[in-house]
Structure 1
Amino acid sequence: MNYPCELSDQPSQPVLSIRTRSAVENLPQVLGQAYLTVLRYLAEIGEQPAGPPFAAYYNMDMQDLDLEIGFPVAKALTGRNEIQPSEIPAGKQATCLYQGPYRQIEPAYQALMQWIQEKGLLPTGAAYEFYLNDPRETPESELLTKIAFPLKG
């Protein structure tokens, strides 16, 4: 498959998110619950997401993933309980667009990592996934995920 990779400049993006840990097999439930919690809070305070839901992965330990799960927002907002204000940092990112079932995303990660290496770029170690369509309304084969690796320098 072809995984289009590119370099982009990301402005800082305020988010409301939940930081948690999970094993990879529990991700569907953990992500779903976190998105629902953040969406309910946004509705309660009269705000809307300013973009698609995301998950940030701060490690790749499949049994103990360090995750940040949430939504971009138009401006910095206050959180409550486990929902905290944060931001996707400004800077250069290497990105790749993947189409297909979430559980088969690994080749897109490998393609992006190879592309980064070939370009002589250095990732920060975090990885973001932006879920561009709704898995409740979209066939698995048509799910779109944007993978982004923030870069050093």
Structure 2
Amino acid sequence: MSVGMSVEPTVRDRAEQPYVGVRATITMTSFARVADRIPEIFAWLGERGIAPAGPPFFRYYLIDVERELEVEAGVPVRAAVEGGDGVRGGVLPAGRYATITHVGHPDRLFGTIEALLGWAAERRLEWDMERTERGERWGCRLEWFKTDPRVEPDRDKWETELAFRLAT
């Protein structure tokens, strides 16, 4: 199986999506601090009898690869949920998103991100993003993890969907 993009980028409308998650300010080298909390979110939902409405995701709020990232690990739910015990409720915004699917090891996701950014630039699509002194502040930049590692342990076969919100 080849790795990298499995489908061409597209633009599609997404509805609002309630979710629960944990947010952190991290560096690229400390990313595991937020990633390792995904099981905690699933446990939190299970304790309350709430079924996930889809796969987990990372939402990037602020990106400065050289310094810090503000990122959230989240799990979608069917209806708004009030958080607690370190887990917060939220809603991913509706809107038009540029999307692309990556099949392969998550460590090679950067090339697919670059492909999506280049594809959008060729079409003069503008992101819901502003550049600040602290880095790029995104309205909604998502990585959805479509493959359950308990079902598919081979990381070269994992599927990740990128969905970056476009400016209105």
Could you tell me how far 1:29 is from its partner in structure 2? 4.7
Secondary structure of 2:62 counterpart: coil
Q: 1:82 to 1:89 in 2, by over 3 A?
A: same
1:141 aligned partner: 156
Could you tell me how far 1:43 is from its partner in structure 2? 0.7
More strand by share: 2
What's the Cα RMSD here? 1.5
Superposed CA offset, 1:126-146 (max 9, x none): 321000002344211101100
1:18 aligned partner: 22
Could you tell me how far 1:89 is from its partner in structure 2? 0.2
2:11 aligned partner: 7
CA contact (8 A) 1:5 1:95 kept: yes
**2:41 matched to 1:38?**
yes
2:127 aligned to 119, 123, 127, which one?
A: 123
Between Structure 1 and Structure 2, how many residues are aligned? Answer: 152
1:66 aligned partner: 70
More helix by share: 1
Could you tell me how far 1:23 is from its partner in structure 2? 1.6
Letter aligned with residue 42 of structure 2: L
CA contact (8 A) 1:19 1:82 kept: no
**2:86 matched to 1:82?**
yes
TM (normalized to structure 2)?
Answer: 0.84
CA distance in 2, matches of 1:103, 1:111: 15
Q: Name stretches of at least 5 consecutive residues in structure 2 with no aligned partner.
A: 130-137
2:53 aligned partner: 50
Letter aligned with residue 150 of structure 1: R
Q: Name stretches of at least 5 consecutive residues in structure 1 with no aligned partner.
A: none
